[in-house]
């Protein structure tokens, strides 16, 4: 009985874990946990001390404008991960479903195009996004970078 339980556990791990037994598929939530939660946390709240903005009351506004959609494709967690563009779209859509009204979903093609668009310094570019939103009367999560 114990041996069967052990074999069943190994089978689950082999089919669910990325990179194990050649499997690279992971759910959007699992990819969020692996690639985003280290900075943004499981509740999407970020940390002021770490300079990581919160998602609630913010991410939906950011992706509502073109410059914001470009911006999110260049944040360090998106630029520095090994996900495919399709997986990035899925994770972004998971984030939008969790911490906004679920509108503004990304497609793989859009992610590919926006990741290829140069924006320069991401901190400077974020200031541009914030100013564009402010002009429309929208304030978003505090961002402590100078």
Q: Please report, for the chain, the start and end positions of each structural domain, with discontinuous segments joined by +.
A: 27-135
What is the third-level CATH fold of 27-135?
A: Cytochrome Bc1 Complex; Chain D, domain 2 (1.10.760)
CA distance 11 to 21: 10
Q: What pLDDT, on a 0 to 100 scale, did the predictor assign at position 101?
A: 94
Tokens representing 59 are 């991410």
Q: Convert the pLDDT of each residue in 73-101 to its tens digit.
A: 999 999 999 999 999 999 999 999 999 99
**Which stretches of the chain drop beneath a pLDDT of 70?**
1-25, 145-146
Supply φ then ψ for residue 106, to 5 degrees.
Answer: -100, 150
Q: What pLDDT, on a 0 to 100 scale, did the predictor assign at position 36?
A: 92
What predicted TM-score, i.e. pTM, was given to this entire model?
0.80
CB 29 within 8 A of CB 18: no
Q: What pLDDT, on a 0 to 100 scale, did the predictor assign at position 30?
A: 95
Of 18, 38, 102, 24, give the one whose Cα is nearest residue 64. 102
Q: What pLDDT, on a 0 to 100 scale, did the predictor assign at position 134?
A: 94
Q: What is the CA radius of gyration of the chain?
A: 18
Cα separations in angstroms, 74 against 2, 23, 82: 48, 27, 14
CA distance 128 to 51: 17
């Amino acid at each position: 009985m114990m041996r069967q339980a052990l074999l069943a556990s190994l089978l689950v791990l082999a089919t669910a874990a990325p990179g194990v037994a050649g499997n690279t598929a992971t759910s959007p939530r699992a990819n969020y946990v692996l690639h985003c939660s280290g900075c943004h946390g499981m509740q999407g709240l970020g940390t002021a001390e770490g300079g990581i903005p919160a998602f609630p009351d913010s991410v939906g506004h950011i992706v509502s404008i073109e410059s914001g959609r470009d911006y999110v494709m260049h944040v360090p967690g998106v630029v520095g991960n090994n996900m495919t563009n399709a997986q990035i779209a899925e994770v972004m859509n998971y984030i939008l479903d969790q911490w906004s009204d679920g509108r503004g979903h990304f497609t793989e093609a859009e992610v590919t195009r926006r990741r290829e668009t140069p924006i320069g310094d991401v901190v400077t570019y974020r200031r541009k996004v914030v100013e564009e939103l402010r002009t429309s009367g929208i304030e978003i999560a505090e961002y402590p970078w100078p």
